[in-house]
Amino acid sequence: MVLSHSPVDPGAAPGDATGPSLRRLALDVASRIAQPTAADRDHNSRWDAHILAELTRALPTAALTGPLVPTVLGGGGLSATETLALLEGLGQGARDPGLALALGVHAVLATAPLRAFGSPRQRERYLPRMADGTWMGAVSLSQTQGTAVVQTVRVRPETAGPGGWVLTGEIDLVAAAPVAHHYLVIAEHTDGARTAFLLDRSTPGLLINAAGPAALRTCPWGRLTLDNCLLPADAVLGTVGGAVDEVEPLLAALDWVFTSAPWLGVMRALTHDAGEAAHQQRLFGQPRIHSQTTRFVLADMATQCELASGLLYRAAAEFDAGGRPSRQNAAAARLFTAAAVRVCVDSAARLSGVLALNSDDLIARAHRDALFFTESGGGPEVQRSVIAAAALGLG
């Protein structure tokens, strides 16, 4: 599946059409608009729609809310590599993994499957409004690896009339649920087959509760309760019973690669801050930066950033080459990035001298949020299993 159909929107500023330029632009814009309030919004677990609106206006047309939507449908028309760079810059500039997660889920996880498997009517209805930020899409992070959600949602077409569907169950860990217009839901039939659906917020029987993990507090989390939700036949995304081969593999790869991108930016921010702290602090009467140990720690942090960058951008380039990255490459990118985040957070804490993990400092927030990031996407066990299977020629 090719994620790039057209060049960057012609309304973009000169020089913004490449990944590095987009990363720098997103970094500068997010530093100015989102970073100043990041700690306060995190402290109060607050989603700020005004931040989204300001970021959207300051970046090239639809680059943030619809990067992968073709320009003919009002989107940014970016490649997967450019989108990854944009999210990396957002993470580094905003220093707010929760905000970046919510935007990434909307811009990538909720958008790419619709573009790949949606009917012409679905694409024309949803994608332009998603691209301009009028409608936000939401996805449960528990369903990106084919677990949890599909075990609790049941489909009973016989009670919904000709071609209709009735969905019942609960879905947790839905990123952007309280502010979303629609949700990508994967439901399990009584025979075990699974089908993907687009579920509008206005669907009768749908209840949305604000609930989520203690981490990534600036992301608006929610739980969906589906009580005999009646859906029309055209709510199906892809083919009936085809989610296992269509939407689910794509969601897994998108999750592993694109929700990691902001964390690459956060790692770069942590490395920068640790270097600044080493310049300012003194050790045995000398600037701490003169310490060989300190320099080695900074070198290790920078190396972790570059290795994670290489793996993530390789996977994104495979999207642009006409398909999905191999499961091995996508899993390796996520597994390494998650481990690298922990290394950078711990190293930054050592060099900066942060002791209070409940403070508003980026290091403290990243320490808390990294625990969730490491275990999401199926966790290291799933990712290692995928990599081992590929190495053994089993998948």
* 7 in any annotated domain: no
319 in the same domain as 219: no
383 in the same domain as 264: yes
261 in the same domain as 383: yes
282-333 pLDDT tens trace: 666 666 677 888 899 999 999 999 999 999 999 999 999 987 778 899 999 9
216-254 pLDDT tens trace: 999 999 999 998 888 888 999 999 999 999 999 999 999
> What is the rounded average pLDDT of the residues 201-214?
93
Nearest Cα neighbor of 80 from 332, 319, 261, 311 is: 319
pLDDT score recorded for residue 176: 96
Nearest Cα neighbor of 97 from 274, 178, 180, 215 is: 215
| DSSP-derived 3-state class of residue 140 | strand
Residues 6+ apart with CB under 8 A from 120: none
What percentage of residues in the chain have a pLDDT greater than 90?
69
| DSSP-derived 3-state class of residue 391 | helix
Question: Judging by DSSP bridges, how do beta strands 137-140 and 154-155 pair with one another?
Answer: unpaired
* 5 in any annotated domain: no
Lowest mean pLDDT among 201-215, 271-285, 322-336: 271-285
183 in the same domain as 126: no
pLDDT score recorded for residue 146: 65
* 280 in any annotated domain: yes
Among 74, 107, 131, the domain-final residue is: 131
Residue found under tokens 């973009």: 12
Task: Flag whether pLDDT at 356 surpasses 90.
Answer: no
292 in the same domain as 159: no
> What is the rounded average pLDDT of the residues 187-213?
91
pLDDT band at 6 (very low <50, low <70, confident <90, very high): very low
Among 77, 108, 131, the domain-final residue is: 131
* 319 in any annotated domain: yes
> What's the gap between Cα 159 and its chain centre?
36
> What is the rounded average pLDDT of the residues 255-278?
93
| DSSP-derived 3-state class of residue 229 | strand
pLDDT score recorded for residue 253: 94
Token pair in block for residue 62: 């639809």
Task: Flag whether pLDDT at 10 surpasses 50.
Answer: no
17-65 pLDDT tens trace: 467 899 999 999 999 999 999 999 999 999 999 999 999 999 999 999 9
Residue type, 371: L
* 8 in any annotated domain: no
* 14 in any annotated domain: no
Residue type, 63: A
- pTM recorded for the entire structure: 0.91
107 in the same domain as 155: no
* 374 in any annotated domain: yes
180-194 pLDDT tens trace: 999 999 988 878 889
pLDDT score recorded for residue 355: 43
On the CB side of 309, how many CA atoms lie within 13 Å of its CA?
17
Cβ burial, residue 237 (10 Å; 0-12/13-18/19+)? buried
Helices marked H in 288-361 — which ranges?
Answer: 292-320, 327-352
Q: Regarding predicted confidence, which is higher, 5 or 57?
A: 57
User: Which CATH number covers residue 72?
Assistant: 1.10.540.10
Among 200, 215, 244, the domain-final residue is: 244
pLDDT score recorded for residue 9: 34
DSSP track, 159-176: GS-TT-EEEEEEEEEEET
pLDDT score recorded for residue 152: 36
CA distances from 76 to 6, 19, 115, 312 (A): 9, 13, 13, 21
User: Which CATH number covers residue 181?
Assistant: 2.40.110.10
Neighbours of 92 (CB within 10 A): 27
Note down the domain range covering 117: 19-131
CA distance 358 to 364: 6
302 in the same domain as 380: yes
Nearest Cα neighbor of 111 from 8, 258, 11, 220 is: 258
Task: Flag whether pLDDT at 362 surpasses 50.
Answer: yes
> What's the gap between Cα 106 and its chain centre?
8
Residue found under tokens 């899409």: 137
pLDDT score recorded for residue 264: 98
Mean of pLDDT over the chain: 87
Residue found under tokens 């920078």: 302
Task: Flag whether pLDDT at 69 surpasses 50.
Answer: yes
pLDDT band at 147 (very low <50, low <70, confident <90, very high): low
- Answer yes or no: are the C-beta atoms of 370 and 262 closer than 8 Å: no
Query: With the C-alpha atoms ordered 98, 304, 311, 186, is the resulting torsion angle positive or negative?
Result: negative
SS3 of the chain: helix, strand, coil, percent, to 5: 55, 15, 35
User: Which CATH number covers residue 352?
Assistant: 1.20.140.10
Domain count, the chain: 3
Q: Which residues pair with 123 in a beta bridge?
A: none
* 234 in any annotated domain: yes
pLDDT score recorded for residue 282: 61
Q: Regarding predicted confidence, which is higher, 325 or 169?
A: 169
376 in the same domain as 326: yes
380 in the same domain as 338: yes
Tally the residues of the chain: 395
379 in the same domain as 269: yes
CA distance 64 to 107: 7
Lowest mean pLDDT among 92-101, 156-165, 185-194, 341-350: 156-165
pLDDT band at 266 (very low <50, low <70, confident <90, very high): very high
pLDDT band at 7 (very low <50, low <70, confident <90, very high): very low
Token pair in block for residue 275: 């270097």
299 in the same domain as 222: no
198 in the same domain as 116: no
